[in-house]
């Protein structure tokens, strides 16, 4: 796959120095998601205070796209309330489904726009979405009181 070189650098940077990659104890919810097609795995710990996402920490193995995307996601979500976090998540999901037609709104997605090129490669979209779907699952569990 070919990605813009600047974007490639952002992804590699997150892959080499992942943000919040150390599971924090006593999470409100913990989820484990896998992407068998590529062998990516993410365990995610979510700490909530009411509607506020206090912390998102994770551990995982897999390709650079899956690991970098999870790292980028944690940076974006920590400190947000559930409503704004879901807006960011929907924006990213839309970007991933755009087949390369969208560039992504940097105001909303920050470093995640670096993953825009992934949407041209159907096999890799699940890699990019893995951590985000894990996050969505954890938040929805926290909302239903599980």
Binding site for Zn ion (CB under 5 A): 38, 40, 63, 66, 127
* Nearest distance, CB of residue 141 and Zn ion, angstroms: 24
Phi and psi at residue 113, to the nearest 5°: -65, -20
Distance CA 125, CA 133 (A): 12
* Nearest distance, CB of residue 123 and Zn ion, angstroms: 9
* Nearest distance, CB of residue 128 and Zn ion, angstroms: 8
Q: Which is nearer to Zn ion, 38 or 102 (CB)?
A: 38
Q: Which is nearer to Zn ion, 34 or 63 (CB)?
A: 63
Give the distance from CA 106 to its chain's centroid. Answer: 15
* Nearest distance, CB of residue 15 and Zn ion, angstroms: 11
Distance CA 133, CA 13 (A): 22
Q: Which is nearer to Zn ion, 40 or 91 (CB)?
A: 40
Contact partners, residue 61, CB within 8 Å, separation at least 6? 39, 40, 41, 67
Q: Which is nearer to Zn ion, 48 or 73 (CB)?
A: 73
Distance CA 74, CA 121 (A): 23
């Amino acid at each position: 796959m070919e990605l813009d070189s600047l974007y490639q650098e952002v992804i590699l940077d997150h892959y080499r120095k992942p943000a919040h990659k150390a599971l924090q104890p006593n999470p409100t919810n913990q989820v484990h998601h896998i992407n068998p097609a590529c062998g990516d795995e993410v365990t995610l710990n979510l700490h909530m205070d009411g509607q506020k996402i206090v912390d998102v920490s994770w551990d995982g193995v897999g390709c650079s796209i899956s690991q970098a995307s999870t790292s980028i996601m944690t940076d974006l979500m920590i400190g947000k309330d559930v409503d704004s976090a879901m807006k960011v998540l929907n924006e990213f999901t839309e970007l991933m489904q755009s087949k390369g037609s969208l560039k992504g709104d940097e105001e909303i997605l920050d470093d995640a726009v670096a993953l825009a090129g992934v949407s041209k490669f159907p096999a890799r979209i699940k890699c990019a979405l893995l951590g985000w779907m894990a996050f969505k699952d954890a938040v929805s569990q926290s909302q239903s009181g599980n």
